[in-house]
Amino acid sequence: MNRPEVVFVLGALAAFGFAWSAFLQQRASTHLAGRPGAALSRKGLPGAVRLMGRLVHSRAWFVGWVVNLLAFVVQAAALHLGSIAAVQPLMTTQVLFTIGLSSWTARRWPTTLDWLAGASICGGITLLMMVDGAAPLTGEADRGRVLLVTAAAAGAVAVLVVASRFRPSPALAALLLACAAGVCFAMTAMFMKLTTDDLIDKGVAATARDWVGYGLAVSTSVGLALGQLSHAAGPLPWSMSAMNIVNPVVSYISGMIAFGADLPTSAGALAGIAGAAALLILGVIGLVHSPSIRAWSPTDPTPEVSSA
């Protein structure tokens, strides 16, 4: 296997792990919250914090956390071998794997719309990879640009979280929190690549002295918390679609900026990138609104989820 194929396989494996993790953790959070939005609408932030405290004792949530950790390691390997612009669009395939898991849970075959939406995602990724220079595998980080991107992302997350606190509808709260989580996960990808490169190229001591490792810890923990709260805040399709669109879009933009990649400028290349983005977005929206996903997004107070 050559290097692009290794990057592709590792990215797809990471996406599967994240889908499985979200499958387990969403069911656990919905079970413990009572109903979508309950943790945020009844008692605000203290209720959300108590929910997180209860989740760590849930067997399903803990297994999901372990799977998420393994997927995190695989994603780090993909980012070390490739680039953010090449790896992060592959994360949209999480929804494809989620459809498989949800269809298995609901004991139903994916619908025609599911297949069409899945084909749209696959077509978008294929088109992006075919455009010369659209997803470069290499690039040197510009630390000044990394700081600029980090500051912009932190500001965006703060605005989104504050907006979600003005008690909008559960669906809108889930959307805003999921967008904030998506931005955090995009920053996690950037910090993950920089930290992994430090660890492999410079050693543990140099990695411990570099601030990006601490940025990785912050962006990951905040992103996971916001993602969990978005699952509990409202309908799953809203949170999943937002995270699976915002993450790769912000990752692609930040990766091209922070790593000094030259975006193709020809009309054909730009049209290909725009077409790939449209196919990915349409595919994600189509899949997260699938009856298969709705089947494992329970709204009753007592869905069947085991917890310790």
228-281 per-position pLDDT tens digit:
788 777 666 677 778 888 988 898 888 888 887 777 777 888 888 889 889 988
Q: Is residue 180 pLDDT above 90, yes or no?
A: yes
Q: Is residue 299 pLDDT above 50, yes or no?
A: no
pTM comes to: 0.74
Task: Determine how many CB atoms are found less than 10 A away from the CB of residue 265.
Answer: 8
Contact in structure between 83 and 139 (CB atoms under 8 Å)? yes
- pLDDT band, residue 286 (cuts 50/70/90): confident
Please calculate the CA angle 246-252-255 and round it to the nearest 5 degrees: 125
Task: Determine how many CB atoms are found less than 10 A away from the CB of residue 28.
Answer: 28
Structure-derived torsion over alpha carbons of residues 121, 122, 125, 130, reported in degrees to the nearest 10? -140
86: amino acid identity, one letter: A
Q: Is residue 112 pLDDT above 80, yes or no?
A: yes
149 or 64, greater pLDDT:
149
Q: How far apart are CA 61 and CA 48, in angstroms?
A: 16
153 or 287, greater pLDDT:
153
282: amino acid identity, one letter: L
Q: What is the 3-state secondary structure (H, E, C) of 137-178?
A: CCCCCCHHHHHHHHHHHHHHHHHHHHHHCCCCCHHHHHHHHH
Q: What is the mean pLDDT of residues 158-183?
A: 86
Note the pLDDT of residue 29: 63
Q: Which helix (H) or strand (E) holds 111?
A: none
Task: Determine how many CB atoms are found less than 10 A away from the CB of residue 264.
Answer: 16
Rounded to 5, what percent of the chain is helix, strand, coil?
A: 80, 0, 20
User: Percent of the chain at pLDDT above 70?
Assistant: 77
**Both tokens assigned to 282:** 């349409």
- pLDDT band, residue 184 (cuts 50/70/90): very high
73 or 49, greater pLDDT:
73
The region of weakest confidence among 136-140, 146-150, 162-166, 219-223 is 136-140
Q: Provide the sign of the torsion angle of the four alpha carbons 151, 39, 16, 282, taken in this order.
A: negative
